[in-house]
């Protein structure tokens, strides 16, 4: 009996040797477990093409199993076929919601791609449900280290240049503006400054602003900004803004950001206007973003409240669209009047450091005017 067992063992080794030598084309009838094992052997030798070919040769039933689909997604990721891997992970997450192994592997894919915010989100979801998942904790640490390194060596500066024009239905002269804003990222904060030139009512105002915001991975974030307009005619003489925000992880795939903003402006002719803006922003799968906010304005002891909703989504490689609607009080030349607005825009990422923007807005200011506005801009990172 021992000789027979020894013979069978030697025979099995010989068969497997021929099996591997023949390559993946000879392995089209494996069980899911065998297919995964053999594909991982090829992948372990960096032969990703053979691994993917082997999986593709299996029966439709075998290819549809979780283990084979998950293995294929991971190998695509290792082979740097990132877009195809992401599509496979998206399908897996739909079919197996909340699966920590899928979320963890998807997190590593986003880490490889340099999408650090998305990777953070995925690793944190795993750790929220499974605090002892050490591979996710390692991935989170690698992501944070990579982001810190990127901030130290890349895109420390951001420059936004914008301009726009408005026309009216009541015959008044067009409004125009041009602005430039520069931001510098430091270790824990980012500081910015800017200038905007406004042309309205046959007059010109130039507004200067400066501010600082948090620049860490904390769940809390904040921003402060102050501005003034020398020799103001229609813009506020001075103004200040403050915002405090909090990122909230959910049990699903959505990340919620809640914030409260406060804005105060002092006009030469009409006095002080204050504004409170609580808002919620939801970051969904596939880079879809939804935003809702309340806008509460206080002036001369009178309060008025309105709201705005907006959203953005990618529609093609490097191209995203946004749209929104608002029915809220708006202050122009120190006078606050309810205004209904509808707007839409597009952003095209020419490169990873250069974006082009365009936005069209239609305003209906109650009993005053209707306004068409077109704004265009460039964002360059250095």
Q: Mark which of 132, 153, 174 sits at the end of a domain.
A: 153
Give the pLDDT band of residue 11 (cuts 50, 70, 90).
very low
Do 43 and 167 share a domain, yes or no?
A: no
Whether 126 and 133 have beta carbons less than 8 Å apart is answered as: yes
pLDDT at 171: 87
Q: Is the pLDDT of residue 14 over 60?
A: no
Do 259 and 298 share a domain, yes or no?
A: yes
Give the pLDDT band of residue 234 (cuts 50, 70, 90).
very high
Q: How many CB atoms lie within 10 A of CB 5?
A: 9
The dihedrals phi and psi of 353, each to the nearest 5 degrees, come to -120, 5
Q: Is the pLDDT of residue 20 over 60?
A: no
Do 63 and 133 share a domain, yes or no?
A: yes
CATH number (domain holding residue 74): 1.25.40.10
Mean pLDDT over residues 106-111, rounded?
93
What distance lies between CA 290 and its chain's CA centroid? 11
Do 134 and 247 share a domain, yes or no?
A: no
Show contacts of 234-238: CB within 8 Å, 24+ apart: 234/198, 234/200, 234/201, 234/203, 234/205, 234/332, 234/333, 234/334, 235/198, 235/205, 235/207, 236/265, 236/266, 236/267, 236/273, 236/334, 237/266, 237/267, 237/268, 238/265, 238/266
Q: Is the pLDDT of residue 118 over 60?
A: yes
The domain containing residue 88 runs over which residues? 2-153
Mean pLDDT over residues 180-208, rounded?
95
Q: How many CB atoms lie within 10 A of CB 52?
A: 21
pLDDT at 156: 81
pLDDT at 152: 62
Do 217 and 147 share a domain, yes or no?
A: no
The Cα 291–Cα 310 span in angstroms is: 5
What global pTM score does this model have?
Answer: 0.63
Give the pLDDT band of residue 25 (cuts 50, 70, 90).
very low
pLDDT at 303: 95
Do 145 and 194 share a domain, yes or no?
A: no
Do 294 and 149 share a domain, yes or no?
A: no
Q: Select from 50, 68, 70 the least CA-distant residue to 59.
A: 68
CATH number (domain holding residue 306): 2.40.160.40
Say whether 137 sits in a helix, a strand or coil: helix
Q: Is the pLDDT of residue 71 over 50?
A: yes
What average pLDDT does the chain have? 89
Q: Select from 65, 66, 38 the least CA-distant residue to 53.
A: 38
Q: How many domains does the chain have?
A: 2
Handedness of CA 116, 122, 127, 128 (dihedral sign): positive
Q: Mark which of 153, 174, 190 sits at the end of a domain.
A: 153
Q: How many CB atoms lie within 10 A of CB 124?
A: 19
pLDDT at 286: 82
Give the pLDDT band of residue 129 (cuts 50, 70, 90).
very high
Do 137 and 164 share a domain, yes or no?
A: no
Q: Is the pLDDT of residue 17 over 70?
A: no
Do 24 and 107 share a domain, yes or no?
A: yes
Do 33 and 73 share a domain, yes or no?
A: yes
Give the pLDDT band of residue 28 (cuts 50, 70, 90).
low
User: Which of 27 and 317 is assigned the larger pLDDT?
Assistant: 317
pLDDT at 342: 98
Mean pLDDT over residues 245-258, rounded?
85
Q: Across the strands, what pairs with 225?
A: 211, 241
Q: Mark which of 108, 130, 153 sits at the end of a domain.
A: 153
The label of the residue with tokens 């939804």 reads: 290
Do 237 and 275 share a domain, yes or no?
A: yes
- Quote the radius of gyration of the chain (alpha carbons, Å): 28
User: Which of 340 and 218 is assigned the larger pLDDT?
Assistant: 340
pLDDT at 153: 62
Mean pLDDT over residues 9-27, rounded?
42
Do 207 and 105 share a domain, yes or no?
A: no
Give the pLDDT band of residue 22 (cuts 50, 70, 90).
very low
DSSP state at residue 201? T
- Pull the structure tokens for residue 271: 């006095």
């Amino acid at each position: 009996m021992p000789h027979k067992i020894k013979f069978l063992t030697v025979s099995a080794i010989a068969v497997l040797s021929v099996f591997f030598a023949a390559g993946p084309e000879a392995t089209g009838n494996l069980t899911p477990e065998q297919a995964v094992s053999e594909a991982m052997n090829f992948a372990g030798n960096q032969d990703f093409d053979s691994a993917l070919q082997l999986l593709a040769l299996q029966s439709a039933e075998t290819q549809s199993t979780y283990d084979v689909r998950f293995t294929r997604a991971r190998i695509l990721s290792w082979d740097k076929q990132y877009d195809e891997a992401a599509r496979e992970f998206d399908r897996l997450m739909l079919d197996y919601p909340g699966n920590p192994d899928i979320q963890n592997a998807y997190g590593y894919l986003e880490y490889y791609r340099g999408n650090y915010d998305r990777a953070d989100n995925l690793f944190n979801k795993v750790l929220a449900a499974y605090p002892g998942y050490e591979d996710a904790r390692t991935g989170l640490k690698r992501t944070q280290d990579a982001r810190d390194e990127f901030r130290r060596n890349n895109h420390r500066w951001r420059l936004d240049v914008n301009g726009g024009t408005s026309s009216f239905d009541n015959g008044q002269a067009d409004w125009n503006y041009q602005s430039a804003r520069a931001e510098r990222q430091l270790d824990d904060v980012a500081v910015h400054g800017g200038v905007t030139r406004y042309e309205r009512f046959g007059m010109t105002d130039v507004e200067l602003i400066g501010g600082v915001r948090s620049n860490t991975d904390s769940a809390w974030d904040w921003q402060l900004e102050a501005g003034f307009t020398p020799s103001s005619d229609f813009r506020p003489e001075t103004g200040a803004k403050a915002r405090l925000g909090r990122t909230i992880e959910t049990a699903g795939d959505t990340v919620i950001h809640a914030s409260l903003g406060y804005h105060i402006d002092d006009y030469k002719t009409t006095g002080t206007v204050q504004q409170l803006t609580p808002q919620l922003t939801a970051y969904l799968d596939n880079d879809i973003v939804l935003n809702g906010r309340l806008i509460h304005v206080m002036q001369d002891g009178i309060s008025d409240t309105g709201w705005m909703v907006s959203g953005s989504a990618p529609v093609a490689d490097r191209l995203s669209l946004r749209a929104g609607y608002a029915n809220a009080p708006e202050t122009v030349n120190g006078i606050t009047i309810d205004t209904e607005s509808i707007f839409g825009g597009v952003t095209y990422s020419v490169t990873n450091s250069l974006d082009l923007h365009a936005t069209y807005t239609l305003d209906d200011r109650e009993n005053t005017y209707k306004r068409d506005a077109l704004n265009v801009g460039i964002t360059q990172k250095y």
